[in-house]
């Protein structure tokens, strides 16, 4: 049985905006990993591990998983904490 995680991606270090963090992703877990003897890289015969599905809401992703009999778990996004500082704080240390 395939197992998938449903999560909201975080912004990368190279992004200043939050454009790519609005969608929910359903990503299948990798099964049967091993080392390829020819290249030495980690490989898997499970092609579902390469599938990422985008959804507008978390509920749509959950409904898809239930409809297709996919075991899933949800990773809730952490709250963003904003530290308010003034410009003069740079010079008070």
Exposed/middle/buried for residue 6 (C-beta within 10 Å: 0-12, 13-18, 19+): buried
| Residue with the larger pLDDT of the pair 53 and 31 | 53
Q: What per-residue confidence (pLDDT) applies to 30?
A: 82
The mean pLDDT value of the chain amounts to 87
Tokens representing residue 78 in the block: 């952490």
Q: Cα–Cα distance between 29 and 48 in angstroms, integer?
A: 8
pLDDT category of residue 91 using cuts at 50, 70 and 90: confident
- Does the structure show a pLDDT above 70 at 28? yes
Residue with tokens 């390829």: 36
pLDDT category of residue 5 using cuts at 50, 70 and 90: very high
Q: Cα–Cα distance between 10 and 77 in angstroms, integer?
A: 8
CATH number of the 3-11+19-91 domain: 3.30.160
């Amino acid at each position: 049985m395939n197992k998938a995680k449903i999560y909201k991606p975080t912004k990368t270090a190279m992004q200043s905006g939050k454009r790519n963090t609005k969608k929910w992703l359903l990503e299948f877990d990798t099964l049967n990993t091993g080392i390829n003897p020819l290249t030495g890289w980690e490989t898997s015969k499970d092609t579902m591990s390469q599938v990422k599905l985008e959804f507008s809401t978390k509920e749509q992703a959950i409904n898809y998983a239930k409809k297709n009999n996919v075991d899933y778990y949800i990773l809730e996004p952490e709250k963003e904490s904003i530290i308010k500082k003034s410009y003069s704080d740079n010079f008070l240390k």
